[in-house]
Amino acid sequence: MDKFVIRGGNKLEGEVTISGAKNATLALMPATLLAPGNYSLYNTPELNDVYTMMKLLTHLGVAAEFRDNLLKLNTDNIISQDAPYEHVKKMRASVYVLGPLLARFGLAKVSLPGGCSWGPRPINLHLEGLKKMGADIELSGGYIIAKSPRLHGSKISFDISSVGATGNILMAAVLAKGESSIINAAIEPEIINLVCFLEKMGARIEGIGTPNLHIEGVDELKSADIDTIPDRIEAGTILIAAAITRGKVKLNNIKAELLLSILNKLENSGCNLIYNNEYIEIDGVNNNINPIDVTTSAFPGFPTDMQAQWTAYMALASGVSTVTDTIYLDRFKHVPELQRLGASITINENSAIIKGVKKLMGAKVMSTDLRASASLVLAGLAAQGTTEVLRVYHLDRGYQRIEEKLKFLGADIERVEGKEF
Ligand code: EPU
């Protein structure tokens, strides 16, 4: 369990390249189960969650080779339809194998993902959708056991926009018999990346980029290659690192259209930005850190995955702001840790009310989940003195060597390897 030691105060300056999106890769990888053959997934980020998904796919019989952000998979010899607890407990996105295994093999046994560090994250929409497509689903011994000789097309209407349920149902529907529609489908860029991949594999999908997808099931698909889109959350996190240290940074390999809601909020907070669909430049040198409220919502709204980072940023604002999470009502594990650094934050239901302070002071803080850890790193970059962020394995799940990128931009941050942290 490594830790980061950060001596705060350095302004970030320079250029970095954004890696591929975690949440896109985690949907693209299981989609390869839908058809035998060779796949190349370009721009795959080197993350622990990707290695976890690789282990799960390897357990199912997939052959995998991963080097220099190119992930090669071969799905000719699938030997199991069983995703065991030991894999799924490490990462909820493992449940993505359910739709493709069931659609191609008529059987899937997938461990129930269980709770998450910040509260319940149900998968009822995944299961109800598959049932509507004719799957026989039984919950037994902590497992979802899903069976159907051949799924049939259906109209599936989601009450809530869900990234995971849209991905799972989509992967099931492309091989189902007949036509399906998904109403209120998620339109997150990572889902669009998946739709593009499925189309390259021969799937027939209409309505790409809209909340109404229409799918005409086919008898079989073929293997294909795909470029993973850039990670909008990594980009947003590094932009806040520049803004909070009053630095000036250019991000390459990023499309502004992926994160306009974040860019807009950063501009309102007092940063100057130049952006297009190749790069984003942020100039926070004269940043006043105006207090700016955010409320998370599904894409294209402000992402819940940036809520903790924005809270850390607003901890140093010149006034009071409110950050409300409407996607995950309890996602505030970072708040007590930010308070240890001197932040003045109170929680009221699903909102954090943040009274900006003049300075944060370094301390030892504990990572509790991926984005919470990112917020602690951001606070540490701006705090006076030394901050130790313990248990950074959470960060390694979703950021490709973030400390190297930050160090390259001038941050005083180092990873200390060890067991005791
Ligand atoms: N929901 C249900 N029932 C379901 C599914 C979802 O009630 O069957 C609810 C959730 O509880 C939540 C809302 O619907 O309130 C949206 O959840 P969603 O299903 O969209 O989340 P997810 O697919 O489990 C993905 C990302 C998360 C990200 C959310 C929201 C992946 C692998 N994970 O999760 O990413 O927070 O969408 O955008 O794509 C992260 O990267 O740190 C992360 C947690």
> 3-class secondary structure for 331-353?
CCCHHHHHHHCCCEEEEECCEEE
Q: Which atom of ligand 1 is nearest to the CA of 369?
A: 42
Cα separation, 265 vs 296, in Å, equals 12
Write down the residue that tokens 């926009």 correspond to. 161
User: Is residue 115 packed enough to be buried (19+ CB in 10 Å), middle (13-18) or exposed (0-12)?
Assistant: exposed
User: Is residue 286 packed enough to be buried (19+ CB in 10 Å), middle (13-18) or exposed (0-12)?
Assistant: exposed
- The helix (H) or strand (E) run that includes residue 29 is helix 22-31
- Domains by residue range for the chain, with CATH: 3-19+230-416 (3.65.10.10), 22-227 (3.65.10.10)
Spatial strand order in the sheet of 70-74: 63-67, 70-74, 38-42, 225-227
Q: Whose CA is nearest to atom 23 of ligand 1?
A: 164
Q: Which of 116, 121, 184, 188 has the most ligand 1 atoms within 8 A of CB, as the residue to mutate?
A: 121
Q: Is 26 in the pocket of ligand 1 (CB under 6 A)?
A: yes
State in Å: Cα 123 to ligand 1 middle: 9
pLDDT (0 to 100) of residue 277: 93
For residue 73, what are its two tokens? 């998979």
Cα separation, 195 vs 103, in Å, equals 16
Cα separation, 158 vs 144, in Å, equals 20
Q: Is 126 in the pocket of ligand 1 (CB under 6 A)?
A: yes
Give which of 29, 146, 37 is closest to 99, Cα–Cα. 146
State in Å: Cα 78 to ligand 1 middle: 28
The confidence band for 421, taking pLDDT boundaries of 50, 70 and 90, is low
State in Å: Cα 197 to ligand 1 middle: 21
List pLDDT tens digits, range 123-167: 999 999 999 999 999 999 999 999 999 999 999 999 999 999 999
Catalytic residue numbers read 116
pLDDT (0 to 100) of residue 115: 65
DSSP E strand stretches across 10-135: 13-17, 38-42, 63-67, 70-74, 82-83, 107-111
Q: Is 124 in the pocket of ligand 1 (CB under 6 A)?
A: yes
Q: Is 406 in the pocket of ligand 1 (CB under 6 A)?
A: no
The pTM of this model reads 0.97
pLDDT at 92 over 80: yes
List pLDDT tens digits, range 282-330: 999 999 999 999 999 999 999 999 999 999 999 999 999 999 999 999 9
State in Å: Cα 184 to ligand 1 middle: 14
How confident is the model over 205-223, as a mean pLDDT? 97
